[in-house]
Amino acid sequence: MPNHETFSIKPIRTWIEQIIRLEGIGVKSLSIDPFARGSKLAMITNDLNPDFTADYHMDALDFLKKFDDDEVDLVLFDPPYSPRQLKECYDGIGQTLTDAKSSVWSKWKDEIARITKPGGTVLSFGWNTVGIGKTRGFKMVDVLLVCHGGMHNDTICVREIKK
């Protein structure tokens, strides 16, 4: 079944853990999660909602801007999948979603492209395989499709490596 805690879905969590092991991402590697919710898979976590346990509680774009060019080894990119979900995140903490913030997906991707090291990995989660994209210097390596059954949308998980 779908779950707001994407990384608690067994096939998705297993896929992430396998990639982390295969690519040797460990304590000396910098991994980040700008939309962590309750997940602790990354070394540094962020979530806008202060009710979640995370290292930071910042707007994701501001969080991503904290990192230097080519600094990050792994990014777990599991943003709200739609404008409606993004609005729900802001409403859920009593903030207003402004027009400037509602068109932020490409800005997040630009920042992720800037901070990911050459050879670094981005794992993206959503309803499509767009990921960060080859126009930003990434090559798609593999895709995991997780069916939730019935009338639920699948979760599409994309692994990309920065060239």
> Which pLDDT score, from 0 to 100, does residue 118 have?
98
Q: How far is 17 from 42, CA to CA, in rounded Å?
A: 11
Q: Is residue 89 part of a domain?
A: yes
E runs forming strands in 112-154: 116-126, 138-146
Query: 110-128 pLDDT, tens per residue?
Result: 999 999 999 999 999 998 8
Q: Is residue 25 part of a domain?
A: yes
- Domain range for 137: 6-162
> Which pLDDT score, from 0 to 100, does residue 82 have?
73
> Which pLDDT score, from 0 to 100, does residue 95 have?
77
Q: Is residue 129 part of a domain?
A: yes
Q: Is residue 17 part of a domain?
A: yes
Q: Transcribe 33-52 into DSSP letters.
A: ETT-TT---SSEEB-S-TTS
> Which pLDDT score, from 0 to 100, does residue 111 have?
98
Q: What pTM does this model have?
A: 0.91
Q: Of 6, 70, 3, 76, whose CA–CA distance to 41 is shortest?
A: 76
Query: 6-36 pLDDT, tens per residue?
Result: 999 999 999 999 999 888 887 789 999 999 9
Q: Is residue 135 part of a domain?
A: yes
Q: Is residue 102 part of a domain?
A: yes
Q: How far is 56 from 59, CA to CA, in rounded Å?
A: 9
Query: Residue 140's domain is classified under what CATH number?
Result: 3.40.50.150
Residue with the bigger pLDDT between 100 and 56: it is 56
Q: Is residue 1 part of a domain?
A: no
Query: 30-82 pLDDT, tens per residue?
Result: 999 999 998 999 999 999 999 999 999 999 999 999 999 999 999 999 998 77
Q: How confident is the model at residue 2 (pLDDT cuts 50, 70, 90)?
A: low
Total domains present in the chain = 1
Tokens of 47: 């979530």
